[in-house]
Amino acid sequence: MRTHFSFLIFLFIATLLQAQPVCDPAYRPVIFVHGFLASGDTWAKFSQAFRAAGYCPDRLVAYDWNTLVQQTNQAAALDAVIDAVRARTGAKQVDIIGHSAGGGVGYAYLSDSIRAAKVNHYVHIGSMNQKRPAGPKGSVPTLNLWSDGDRVMAGKDIPGASNTMLPGLDHYQIATSAASFEAVFQFLNHAPQKVIAPAANERVRIGGRALFLGENNPAIGAAVEVYSLDPHTGKRSGALIAMLTTDAQGYWSVQDMPANVPIELVLRTTDTERPVHYFREGFSQPDDLVYLRALPGPGTMVSKLLAGLPDSPEQVVVNVFASDQAVVYGRDSLLVNGLLLSTAQHAAPGKTAISFFLYDGNNNKQSDLTPVGMFGSFPFLSGVDVFLNPDDGAPLVVQFNERRQVVRKIRSSEGVQVVVFD
């Protein structure tokens, strides 16, 4: 009997070890700094790869900042985050990874010798050219990671830095690809590390932040609802998975939900603002960087950009968001209900478009496929005149390259919907 009981205990412990990946607290914490119009979810792929390689989740921290006011000195705010991480983990130093405009933040932070002493390595990804490595007199070991396919930042080697050019990657791929992660891990740890394929999971934990679009201010006390979807119809297929409220920093989490099942996440900030419905293909592994962006209130720069979005029961407003790469004419294919959007006009390589706003801009109940709104004035964004009838009974079918999502249509008076490919 005792032998049988001991064997059961062994099996129980082995099961726990399989469910909880072993992490090594000896790894230095990593602080991720995103770029213009972005948020911490830029780093979801890197964060998952670091965790699979043995990093503890509490040592992977995304720093969210308002990229619309770049003249503001970010050094003090970033310094406070770094000090908090050092105090919490006991680490003497951290590593910083900055992408695009986030590289400017990281490089400027390291110009001060006291701040630079808190950083062991710095990674400069798809960011502005510099004359030397980061830190006073170039004292902080720096990896400069760039691509000849980046049409936003025409990178080049930084004298004295470790330089890696990965050919053919667009501005977002350089911060999300497996090759980029492997170059970064090698630099930070002086050891090779391939991206590890995720283990098969039946249940996963997800979480992240709710922020106001563009400014990245937290949506405090917002309601988040999570539903599973029928992959063929896009309709909700079962009971509510979770309903929760964001905390004082906009954070939320769902501790246990089915893996690999399409889901809908609904973000409600107030009773008067329209909710935003996020549609995802399903999660195969835990993810702590699932971001939900709320529509900002009046008087902000982003509210002016979004002022043309219809608020009508007669049409639908859809945003297609490709979080890990741009949609590039001649390379990628993006179709919505059979309409090709990856055209030279809407997906030019220089545009590096990752976010497509679709609605009937002239209210003629036709898809003219012409530009709409002010989106053409911003990088990374496109607006296209597409009429989606909420009363025709047909679902919304979005196909991005070989991937496909089917979701139900929602009247724009009842919410804005975002179809995410990550």
Give the count of domains, the chain: 2
Whether 17 is covered by a domain: the verdict is no
The reply to whether 207 and 178 lie within a common domain is no
pLDDT of residue 16: 35
* Residue 17 pLDDT grade (very low, low, confident, very high; cuts 50, 70, 90): very low
The reply to whether 210 and 140 lie within a common domain is no
Whether 5 is covered by a domain: the verdict is no
Calculate mean pLDDT across residues 41-48.
Answer: 97
The reply to whether 329 and 411 lie within a common domain is yes
Q: pLDDT, tens digit, for every residue of 158-170?
A: 999 999 999 999 9
The reply to whether 241 and 161 lie within a common domain is no
pTM of the model: 0.93
Domain termination residue (choose one: 163, 189, 215): 189
More confident residue, 340 or 19: 340
Burial label for 349, CB within 10 Å (0-12, 13-18, 19+), is middle
The pLDDT of residue 243 is above 50 = yes
Collapsed DSSP state (helix, strand, coil) of residue 417: strand
- Whole domain around residue 254: which residue ranges? 203-421
Whether 285 is covered by a domain: the verdict is yes
Domain termination residue (choose one: 189, 220, 250): 189
Helix 178-189 / helix 44-52 crossing angle, nearest 10 deg: 50
Residue 142 structure tokens: 């720096």
Whether 124 is covered by a domain: the verdict is yes
Domain termination residue (choose one: 134, 154, 189): 189
Calculate mean pLDDT across residues 70-95.
Answer: 93
The reply to whether 248 and 297 lie within a common domain is yes
The pLDDT of residue 211 is above 90 = yes
Q: pLDDT, tens digit, for every residue of 189-209?
A: 999 999 998 888 899 999 999
Q: What is the CATH number of the domain that holds 89?
A: 3.40.50.1820
Q: pLDDT, tens digit, for every residue of 134-155?
A: 999 999 999 999 999 999 999 9
Q: What is the CATH number of the domain that holds 386?
A: 2.60.40.2200
Neighbours of 86 (CB within 10 A): 16
The reply to whether 34 and 142 lie within a common domain is yes
Whether 353 is covered by a domain: the verdict is yes
Whether 11 is covered by a domain: the verdict is no
Tell me the C-alpha distance between 294 and 61, whole Å. 22
The reply to whether 133 and 207 lie within a common domain is no
Calculate mean pLDDT across residues 369-374.
Answer: 96
pLDDT of residue 71: 64
Where does 20-74 have alpha helices with state H? 44-52
The pLDDT of residue 69 is above 90 = no
More confident residue, 13 or 40: 40
Calculate mean pLDDT across residues 171-182.
Answer: 98
Calculate mean pLDDT across residues 26-52.
Answer: 97
The reply to whether 314 and 340 lie within a common domain is yes
The reply to whether 319 and 408 lie within a common domain is yes
The reply to whether 326 and 224 lie within a common domain is yes
The reply to whether 249 and 302 lie within a common domain is yes
The reply to whether 404 and 332 lie within a common domain is yes
Q: Are strands 334-336 and 396-400 parallel, antiparallel or unpaired?
A: antiparallel
Whether 2 is covered by a domain: the verdict is no
